[in-house]
Structure formats: C-alpha cells, structure tokens
Amino acid sequence: MDIARLNINELRLLLDKKEVSVKEVSEYYLDRIDKLNPRLCAYLITTNSNAEKMIDKAQKRIDNKQSLNLTGIPLAIKDNICTEGILTTCASRILYNFIPPYESTATKRLLEQDYILLGKTNLDEFAMGSSTENSAFCVTKNPWDLETVPGGSSGGSAAAVAADMCVAALGSDTGGSIRQPASFCGVVGLKPTYGRVSRYGLVAFASSLDQIGPITKCVKDSAIILKTISGNDASDSTSAPVSVPDYEDSLGRDIKGIRVGIPKEYFIDGMDKEVEKVIKDAINHLISLGAEPIEISLPHTEYAVATYYIIATSEASSNLARFDGVKYGFRRHGKDLMDMYLKTRSEGFGAEVKRRIMLGTYALSSGYYDAYYKKAQEVRTLLKTDFEKAFKNVDLILTPTSPTVAFKIGEKSNNPLQMYLSDIFTISINLAGLPAISIPCGFAHDMPVGLQIIGRYFEEPLILQVAYAYEQSTNWHQKRPILD
C-alpha cells in the first residue's frame, strides 16, 4: 500500500479501520516532505512540533468512533491563510516573523474536524504572481519538470498535492491562483463562488476577488473540503448567507443533456496548439458523455486582464498599506517616521508587490480615479453581464484554464505583461465572482493541461458533477510525476 497515492476517502477508511494510525500517516508525509522539499520548495515551513497535538486529538476522535471527513487527514495550507500560533508569512520579507494570534475561519473549520496541518506552502509574495517565482524565500518547482514553474500564486500547494507531499491543500484564488497552478501541476483546483468561503484570516490581496478553495488529487476531495470550509461567517460581511449543500451528493450523476457553453473568445490565436487540441479532446469527451455543446460569446473578455489589473492593484495598494513596520513584521529603522516607512516598505516588499502597489496607488489617485478605477468597475459589470447572458442558455462554460502549459523558471519573470497574460482565462471568473474548477485533462509538451469548468453562482454542485463524470471516465488524475 502506498499511502502517498491515497485520496481523502481512501485514507479515511484506513484510519477508521485502524489499519494505519494518524501518527503513521503524518510521519509518512512529514518524511516525504523532508525528502522532497529541498528539491521542490513547496513548503515554507512544516509544523512537526504542532503536529503532535493535532495527531493525538485526531487519533482520539477516531478511537471514539467520532471521526469526521477530515479527521486525521494531513493537509497543507497556503501561507497567506492565518494559522494561530504558526508563522504566516505570505512569502514576504515584511511578514517574515509574523505569528497570527488568531485562526482563519476556513482553517478553524478544518480544525473542528481535527485535520492534520503538515505545513504552510509557498506562494508568490502576497499571492501576486502566476509562477511562485515572486516568493521572497524560494522558487517552487513543478514536480513534473523541476525546471518549470508550478504556476501561481498557490504554486506551493499545487506542487505539494502533485508530489504527494500532502493529501490535499488549501489555496487562494484572486485571478486564477488556485486553478492555474492546479492546471500546471496536473491536479484539481476549485475556486468557489465569491462569498462561499469566509475570507476571515486570509491575508487580503484584492478583497473583492480573493477566495479560498481546495487543491486536491481528485474531484471528490474538492467536494469534501469545500463542504467543510464553506458557509456564512459572522466575521466576514462578504460571506454569503447561503446554505451549504452536500457537495458529494451530485457526484456520479448522469450528465446527459447538460448544456455546456464554449466561448469563442477563449480559443485565441496566441494559444498553444497542443493545449488547444487537448482541451478540444476533453470537450469532445464530455460531449460523448452526453453534454450538449453550445457556442457562446463573452464579448468583453478582451478587457478582462486590464480591468483586473486596475481593480486588483487598487485594492492591494490599500490592503497592503498596513505593513509599515509600526506594529509587527519587518522594520528597518530610519531617522524619522517617514524614513522608517520608506525603508521598511522598500526593503520589506519584493519588486512585483511594489509594482502593484504603485499601479494601484496611481489608479486611485485624484484625477485618475474616474478614468481607471471607476471605468474598470463599469467594465467589471459588463463582464458579469456577459456571463449572466451566457448562463441563460447554458448550464456550464468550458474553457482552457491557461493558454499554455507550465513555462520555464525565469522565462517570463522579466516580462510582467507576458506573465499577466497567463491568467487570461481565469481572471474574468474572479471579476464576475463565479465558481470554477480546473481538472487534469491531458498533456501537452509532456506537461499537464487543465480544463476549466465555470458555473453559475453557488452552482458548485453542477461543476463538481460534470468534473467528476469526466474524471471517472478518464485516467488523467491518476498520473503522477516521477520523483523518487
């Protein structure tokens, strides 16, 4: 038996039947992390010392036959999600020593089931990036090819899942940060509807776009984790007062007659031909399972990237203002207050973060607000309307997750615009606040390709149903990189 390959339910069964103990499973994963992390840098820290307590609690719950879905299941958490008493750095120098005195709502809900926290995973600093190269600490490698990026910003979580360094992980998605790395690493990544999962304790990048979600080895694991972390939260005004369905219920249902929209704007000229072929094959496969394809148009798609980089950076410029060296984190002393601010922030933030703070500050400046921020909000409304219109005729929308497979480390780091374009298919979904999943659907240039399935607000069950149907009739999700 290879523990590494197990999904949540398989491991659940073994734990509950006492064929393995929580301690054995956890130690197995921690050993594997020790072995692989020096090469992959998926984790920033592991939580060996904290793990012991969690292991005991989980084992007790299992011994008392009170285990829940995630009791004793070892997970990884992206390092921009606050974990009480455990370093949370956002992969930024400015928070290199920040230990939150409180727990995020999402991880609190995992803790209530006594999950095992293996460690905190690497990301682009403050989740700003598409390659995890912007981490202040290390560059995460794609387990499929150590010379390529794992995608980003949840690159550490995606790489950890792909390399079997955890059962599953939490990521966060502001413009594609769960789905794009999931696609690059050949795993499942789900961005829930905005408001589905509480943002309390997620260090904000762009508040109106950020959403926590699962990165898993299979669709069912995403359903299980989503069920656990979802739901209204009194600590987050933007969390939706919408009841949480059992996301496992729709899995296995027939997908005959489900109308899937294929947006013509998402099959663009610059797209990698091999990727395009893989995606078209995937769509054809779904059609063969009974899905009804309908060509649709999302006419404002071309404005999505520009809109996103105004709204996201504007919000970020304000969200990141609190990191000033006064209260916590990195501080560089100066000759006066202003000097301290300037030195702290100049040295504490990396280049990409500073670039975005400057962009956002500019977009919100008096005299420019109307031309940039306000205009971007108007376009955002148009993008939403595009989707609302489309969803009158279709139940789901199918697109590639990214126009390319994972690129080489360093290939785009000097060309921010090129880098920004790798999120071209995922960004609109955040602007509209819709849910979407990326599932493995084949390989191009020997690297994984992800199919994106977009649904209506709070219709994660339908997304999961179709994703599951695809997954169960293919074997892409069982492919693993060779690392040993």
Partner 1 sequence: MQYEAVIGLEVHAQLSTNTKIFCRCSTNFGSEPNSQTCPVCLGLPGSLPVLNKKAVEFAIKTGLALNSRIASYTRFARKNYFYPDLPKNYQISQYELPICEGGYIEISVDEKPKRINLTRIHLEEDAGKNIHDAKNPFSLVDLNRTGVPLMEIVSEPDIRTPQEASEYMKKLRTILRYIEVCDGNMEQGSLRCDANVSVRPVGQKEFGVKVELKNMNSFKYVEKALEYEIKRQIEILQDGGKIIQETRLFDANSSRTYSMRSKEEAHDYRYFPDPDLVPVIINDEMIQEIMSGLPELPDKKISRFITDYNLTNYDAEILASDKYLAGWFEEVVRCGVNPKTAANWIINELLKFLNEDDKTISDTPIKPQQLANLIRMIEKGVISGKIAKTVFHEMYQTGNEPDAIVTQKGLVQISDTETIQKTIDEILAANPKEVERYKNGETKLLGFFAGQVMKVTKGKANPQMVNEILKKRLS
Contacting residues toward partner 1, per CB under 8 A:
81-82, 88, 90, 95, 98, 100-102, 104, 199-204, 206-208, 234-238, 314-315, 317-318, 321-324, 326-328, 337, 341, 361, 364-366, 369, 373
CA pair distance 142, 159, nearest whole angstrom: 6
Q: Which is nearer to partner 1, 71 or 135 (CB)?
A: 135
Does the active-site annotation cover 177?
A: yes
Q: Which is nearer to partner 1, 21 or 232 (CB)?
A: 232
Taking the complex as a whole, how short is the minimal distance between the CB of residue 167 and partner 1, in angstroms? 24
CA pair distance 159, 240, nearest whole angstrom: 30
SS (H, E, C) 418-445: HHHHCCCCCHHHHHHCCCEEEEEEEEEC
Nearest to residue 182, comparing CAs of 445, 426, 469, 461? 426
Question: Do the Cβ atoms of 463 and 455 come closer than 8 Å?
Answer: yes
Candidate list 92, 154, 172, 177, residue with the active-site label: 177
Cis bond before residue 428 (omega within 30° of 0) = no
CA pair distance 435, 362, nearest whole angstrom: 30
Candidate list 26, 78, 141, 314, residue with the active-site label: 78
Taking the complex as a whole, how short is the minimal distance between the CB of residue 435 and partner 1, in angstroms? 19
How many other C-beta atoms are found inside a 10 Å radius of the C-beta of residue 19? 10
Candidate list 26, 135, 153, 314, residue with the active-site label: 153
Q: Which is nearer to partner 1, 82 or 178 (CB)?
A: 82
Q: Which is nearer to partner 1, 100 or 213 (CB)?
A: 100
CA pair distance 317, 299, nearest whole angstrom: 29
Q: Which is nearer to partner 1, 237 or 288 (CB)?
A: 237
Taking the complex as a whole, how short is the minimal distance between the CB of residue 95 and partner 1, in angstroms? 7
Does the active-site annotation cover 78?
A: yes
Taking CA atoms, 130 is separated from 17, 102, 140, 419, in Å, by: 41, 28, 12, 7
Does the active-site annotation cover 256?
A: no
CA pair distance 86, 98, nearest whole angstrom: 8
Taking the complex as a whole, how short is the minimal distance between the CB of residue 377 and partner 1, in angstroms? 9
Taking the complex as a whole, how short is the minimal distance between the CB of residue 427 and partner 1, in angstroms? 16
| Catalytic positions | 78, 153, 177
